[in-house]
Every structure is written in C-alpha cells, then in structure tokens.
Amino acid sequence: MAAQNGIWRPEIETMDRGDLDALSEERIRYTVRYAEEHSRFYRHWFASHGVRASDIRTHEDLLELPILSGRTIRASQPPETAEFGFLSAPLEEIFTIHETSGTTGVPKAFFLMWEDWGRYAEKYARAFASQGLGHGDRLVVCTSYGMNVGGNTMTLAARRLRMTIIPTGKCTFPIRVITSYRPTAIVGSVFKLLRLADRLEAEGIDPRESGLLRLIVGGEAFAEEARAHLVERYGCPVYNTYGSTEGTMCGECREQNGLHVPEDLVHLDLYDPDLREFVPDGRQGRIVLSHLLPVGERSGMVLLNYDSEDVTTIVSRERCACGRTHLRIRPPGRESDIVQIGHAHLDRIEIERGVFAPENLAELNGEYEAFLYAEGDRGAVLRIGLECRHSPACDREGISERILHTLLSNNRALASAYASGEFRVVFSFTGPGGLELHQIKGRPKRLVDRR
C-alpha cells in the first residue's frame, strides 16, 4: 500500500464528518464494553460509581465517567496492589511491557499486545505520510528505544511506508551518519537538532547542504520562533508531532495549520481546568483522551477519560486543505510548563519566544533555563540563564531587554506584576555548555518553580 497524495488511509482520513463521528461512537461503545469485560479495574470502577457500560453510547456520555489520572494507574499496580488492575488481556498474550519515565513517582506500567502496536504504527504512518515521507526516504530516529514506545512506534510505522530507518536513538551520533548514509529526514527535539547543526558546522558542513529534506520535532512543545530558526539553519520544512506512551499520536500535515488527531483510534476531549465539563472549540482546555478499539479488536490496556495533563486548543473540525477531515489541534503544551505568579500565568514557550528572536540568535545558541524563586514579601524573581556563542563579546544588555520586552508585551497580567514590583527578571550568561541543565540526565525541565 502506498500513500495517495500524502494520505496513508484515505478511506478513513478523508471520511465525512458525520460518518467519522458515527464510527467514533460505535468504537466508544465497543471499547467501554471491552474495558468492563476484560479489566479488573474497570469492573470495580464502574460498579463503585454506579456506571453501566451499556449506558455509555456517545461522546457526551463520557462526561458520566470519572476522570482517570496517572495517580489512578499507579494506585492500581504493584506495589500499591498485588496485581495490575488495568491489564485487559492475559499476561501471556502481552507482546511488550513499558513504563513511563517515573519523574513524578513510581513509573506507570503499560501493556501492549501486537494489536496495540499495529494501531500505534498506524497513527504514526499517517503522520509521516502527511509530512511527505514515504518509500525511498531514510529517517534518522533520535528518540529513545526501550521502555519508551517512541522509537519502536516510528520504526514500525516506517516499515508500513517502506522507508529506511537509521535507529540511532540519540542525536549525538557521529557526523559520518549524515555523510555516509545521506538521510533525508530526522526525528528529534528542537534542542537536539540545534546541537546537531552546530556539530555539522564545526565539521565544515552547511546543514542546508546535508541532504536533509525535512525535520520532524517531537517530544515537547516549542515556540514558532524556534521552528523558524531550524528552518533557517537547515533550509527545509520542520513538522510538529505529539505522541505519548498513552497512545496520543498526532501529526502536523504539510499545511502546518494544526496537528491532525486520528479520531477513529483515539477520542480527544478538552475539559475546563476543574475537569467538570467540555470547553468549546477555540478555547484552551486539558486533553482528556480515550482509546478507541475497532470492533472485534483487543488491547493489553485500555484508557478511558484519561487526563494527559497537557493543554491545547481545537483549531478546526472542518476539512483541512490537505483533504483530511480529522480535527486539528494546536501543538499541546504541558501544564507543568506553566507557573503562576500572582494573578499571572507564565508558559515556558513565552520565554522561548524571546530566546529564539532572530536578533538574539545572532549571539545565543538557543540553550536556556529559567528558575522561579520566591523573593520574600516582594513577590517572585525569574532567573533566566542563557548561553552565548562567544561569551565575553555577547550583547548582554540588548539580549536581556529584547527577551523582557517579549515576555511583558504578550502577557498583560505579567506586565502588571512587573510594573508593581511583584515580579522581577534577572539574566545570567555563560558560554556553550555552561548551564545547569547539561548536568541533568535525560530531557531537562527548562522552567522550574523553586519557590
């Protein structure tokens, strides 16, 4: 099977809205029944909340179900319980077992049958095809392999598209991978791709002449200014993806006007901050997802009404210019990347927008970290650390003023707190590799509330 005009599954991805909604609700009914019949957790959960699976028939009926969280999963697995309550197939039929990073406690366990892997690969195959990838492409996968599902999911998706995979797992691979194998695309985070560009240039290779035709960014939200900088450095399109072990694989198509949600395989609702009701399209809300199983298929672990702790906005449910009808969302952000300062909210992306302003990147390398501290009765102070390419000659005053202007001009509440003295910003500068984040193993958190 080959993608048609960049659409991998046209009979599903271009389905009329009414038919797509009907298919989604059919799968909601089947998945809820499957969960009740095969998962010890859901049987007890439904009974204790007075819910009958047969009553959940439509999207709106999901409001009747309580919201699940990571804490719910951890409370239903060892060491809290003797068994894994979410397991929804015999253990001997599970193909792989995975865990989340466990940064907020005991890692959450996830059980995948081969059928689950098929659905995961299907989602990413659609995203890759929508970004122009296909037979003949050679894709470097910089996302990890192992307990994280990302690398393996992309590899299985690439097999469907008849692509060649170069499974480095990291972007610290030798430059000969670029010069010898001539990859046409790379999947990685913004900062991994920036460091790779620096290494290429240090070897005398212009990233624009590397043979790369597209970059795919996954794993974290990023500022549009960061995308623009990558486009400038590499001279090729940069696409956004959103994925997780929980099964939310969404991809930006070549129109770059929102990420398409595979509505036939995952149902996505946006809730208000109190998780009490849906928010209307166009307003930001918390992503609450439910798996959708095709009738007759099985799963090692089902999630219903799962709070992802991510936030986004629905762009449109209308047909995209690419031909797809599946809804589009803004690139999701982590709720943990947002801090409250008095009545103001500060998102990590707001800092990133200033860092990646073109005038600043003439001297900065894009690396930054920010720490929020309490300042007694005076409020809070945000300390932003930046790396200069040539530290002694860096225009520290000009860079600081531009970043501060970006922060305050786009956030009225924050500007008010700054004007009243309740909020200060302090900048520090170092050479390449001098920030604290380089001492942290794994992906660092760039905005940390240390109050």
pLDDT in tens, the chain (451 residues): 556 678 999 999 999 999 999 999 999 999 999 999 999 999 999 999 888 899 999 989 988 888 999 999 999 999 999 999 999 999 999 999 998 865 556 889 999 999 999 999 999 999 999 999 999 999 999 988 888 888 999 999 999 999 999 999 999 999 999 999 999 999 999 999 999 999 999 999 999 999 999 999 986 788 999 999 999 999 999 999 998 888 888 999 999 999 999 999 999 999 998 888 999 999 999 999 999 999 999 999 999 999 998 999 999 999 999 999 999 999 998 888 889 998 899 999 999 999 999 999 999 999 999 999 998 777 899 999 999 988 788 999 999 999 999 999 989 999 999 999 899 999 999 999 999 988 887 778 899 999 8
Q: Is the pTM of this model over 0.85?
A: yes
Q: Looking at residue 440, what is its pLDDT?
A: 82
User: Helix, strand or coil for residue 64?
Assistant: helix
Q: Looking at residue 2, what is its pLDDT?
A: 56
Q: How many Cβ atoms are within 10 Å of 287's Cβ, its own excluded?
A: 24
Where do we find the tokens 């001279």?
Answer: 235
Residue type (1 letter), 362: A
The answer to whether residues 344 and 411 touch, using CB atoms and an 8 Å cutoff, is: yes
**Taking Cα atoms as reference points, which of 351, 378, 373, 376 lies closest to residue 449?**
373
Q: How many Cβ atoms are within 10 Å of 54's Cβ, its own excluded?
A: 10
Number of residues in the chain: 451
**CA-to-CA distance for 314 and 281, rounded, in angstroms?**
5
Q: Domains in the chain and their CATH numbers?
A: 10-116+245-331 (3.40.50.12780), 132-236 (3.40.50.280), 336-449 (3.30.300.30)
The answer to whether residues 118 and 5 touch, using CB atoms and an 8 Å cutoff, is: no
Per-residue CA distances from 158 to 21, 46, 126, 154, 248 (Å):
28, 39, 10, 6, 18
Residue type (1 letter), 218: G
**Taking Cα atoms as reference points, which of 286, 262, 314 lies closest to residue 67?**
286
Paired with 86 in beta bridges are none
**CA-to-CA distance for 423 and 201, rounded, in angstroms?**
39
Residue type (1 letter), 41: F
Structure tokens at 51: 């819910």
Q: Write phi, then psi, for 320 (nearest 5 degrees).
A: -75, 160
| Radius of gyration, alpha carbons of the chain | 23
